[in-house]
Amino acid sequence: MSKSVSHTSTLTADVLVHNVRLVRAPSVSEQSWAVVENASVAWQQGKFIYVGSTEHAPKIEAGEVIDGQQQWLTPGLIDCHTHLVYGGNRADEFEQLQNGVRYEDIARAGGGIKSTVAATRALTEDELYESARLRLLPLIHEGVTTVEIKSGYGLNIESELKMLRVIKRLNTELPVTVSATCLAAHAVPAEYLGRDDEYLDLIINELLPLVKAEGLAQAVDVFCESIAFSAEQSKRLFRAAKDLGFAIKGHVEQLSDSQGTEAVCEYQGLSADHVEYVSEGQVKKMAAANVTAVILPGAFYFLKETQKPPIELFRTHQVPMAIATDLNPGSSPLGSLLTAANFGCVLFGFTPFEAFNGITVNAAAALGLANQKGRIEVGYDADCLLFACEHPRQLIHEINLHRPTQSWHLGKERPNL
Ligand code: DI6
Ligand code: FE
């Protein structure tokens, strides 16, 4: 905060951006856009060191000084739930869906996740990397500076590790922070049909220790649903994951109430994702366990679901709400986080401000990065964007009309990729 900085001291910065309007730091307690007109922001070694009004700024000696020309400076956007590493595409199944076949029935008939598993196993690591890079670029262009990516289309040791190595490489080679999640418990692979507990044993006893040893994931996730894993199985996975030091996330209550939310809460997970069928009792448990609700309007839209997540209950019980693309080939082929935020408003009743928080500060919480990302605040990572709009609510309102004029990741300006 500017208040804590003595006005007589001089700060040394790598970059100073002045003459901007700032969406400062949406915090959960704030009810509307926290705006600072005529603001300056400075960072050094990738962290903000001054954020506030230009008038009250100390003297700042910066290696590079940028005139923001009254543009809006916002936090970098955070897509906290994607499955963007995969082989093939499922446009053929879209045609089936359009002919009235249900998503669950396609999955039961060996399509769905399983068809993507076959296509993903067939690719080399380099091929998988290249196809995933092309899907990540549109998110980066839109202003995403942090993205979570899940495995879960390998469903055996070799291919899950291949996916996670691709995810790690995306983090290394592109100007974006990638948070990796092991979702080996996405579906029961055909080889284990009817032996789902044996497949879980494989994940718990063999895969997760390897993932840990190679540092390939921060979190472990599960698809808790009648077509995948039960709440009891999810708990067994969470117990093992927690013992190994992984954070916990869950795909829960997406297509039915399967009590996955209780499992996530019992193991102090970071987030319960989808949550269309969540009950008030479950929402209270989320509040008590400080679990973020990750809302995925792309999947709801795409599968033509009718059960909406209970936004009003999350508000009442002060459960933080994030919004993400869920970018995947089956249920949410959506490569735009700002569009997901717009869908959150139109389909579920988010206010534009709530939706903006959902792709910044609350998305950071869903990844365990609440003290590091999602806000423009001293000590936070210097991930930020300049937009030439009249007000940031336009970013949520107008679909596909806005791109940052400049963006920085960890203090470094991102090139045109
Ligand atoms: N829920 C979803 O919506 C996606 N995964 C999941 O657990 C679907 C992924 C797919 O259909 O490929
Ligand atoms: Fe998902």
- Average pLDDT (12-30) is 85
Report which ligand 1 atom has the smallest distance to the Cα of 83.
Answer: 9
The CA angle 22-28-29, to the nearest 5 degrees, is 95
- List the domain boundaries for the chain: 10-75+375-413, 77-366
Q: For 234-246, what is each residue's pLDDT tens digit?
A: 999 999 999 999 9
Q: For 343-361, what is each residue's pLDDT tens digit?
A: 999 999 999 999 999 999 9
Residues near ion ligand 2 (CB < 5 Å) are: 326
pLDDT of residue 2: 45
pLDDT of residue 208: 98
Question: How far away, in angstroms, is 325 Cα from ligand 2 center?
Answer: 9
Report which ligand 1 atom has the smallest distance to the Cα of 223.
Answer: 7
**Pair 248, 238: CB distance under 8 Å:** yes
Question: How far away, in angstroms, is 329 Cα from ligand 1 center?
Answer: 8
Alpha carbon nearest to ligand 1 atom 7, residue: 223
Q: Which numbered ligand comes closest to the C-alpha of 155?
A: 1
Answer yes or no: is pLDDT of 48 > 90.
yes
Alpha carbon nearest to ligand 1 atom 2, residue: 331
Alpha carbon nearest to ligand 1 atom 11, residue: 330
- Which residues are registered as beta bridge partners of 40? 52
pLDDT of residue 32: 82
Q: For 373-414, what is each residue's pLDDT tens digit?
A: 999 999 999 999 999 999 999 999 999 999 999 999 999 999
- Average pLDDT (228-238) is 97
Question: How far away, in angstroms, is 94 Cα from ligand 1 center?
Answer: 14
Phi, psi of 202 (to 5 degrees): -60, -45
Answer yes or no: is pLDDT of 27 > 80.
no
Q: What is the pTM of this model?
A: 0.96
Fold of 10-75+375-413: Urease, subunit C; domain 1 (2.30.40)
Q: For 318-347, what is each residue's pLDDT tens digit?
A: 999 999 999 999 999 999 999 999 999 999
Residue 34 pLDDT grade (very low, low, confident, very high; cuts 50, 70, 90): confident
pLDDT of residue 108: 81
Residue 125 class from Cβ within 10 Å (0-12 exposed, 13-18 middle, 19+ buried)? middle
Question: How far away, in angstroms, is 255 Cα from ligand 2 center?
Answer: 12
Answer yes or no: is pLDDT of 6 > 60.
no
Answer yes or no: is pLDDT of 1 > 50.
no
The encoded tokens of residue 88 equal 């093939």
| DSSP per-residue string spanning 175-191 | SSEEEEEEEEETS--GG
Q: Which numbered ligand comes closest to the C-alpha of 254?
A: 1
Mean per-residue pLDDT of the chain? 95
The architecture of the domain spanning 77-366 is Alpha-Beta Barrel (3.20)
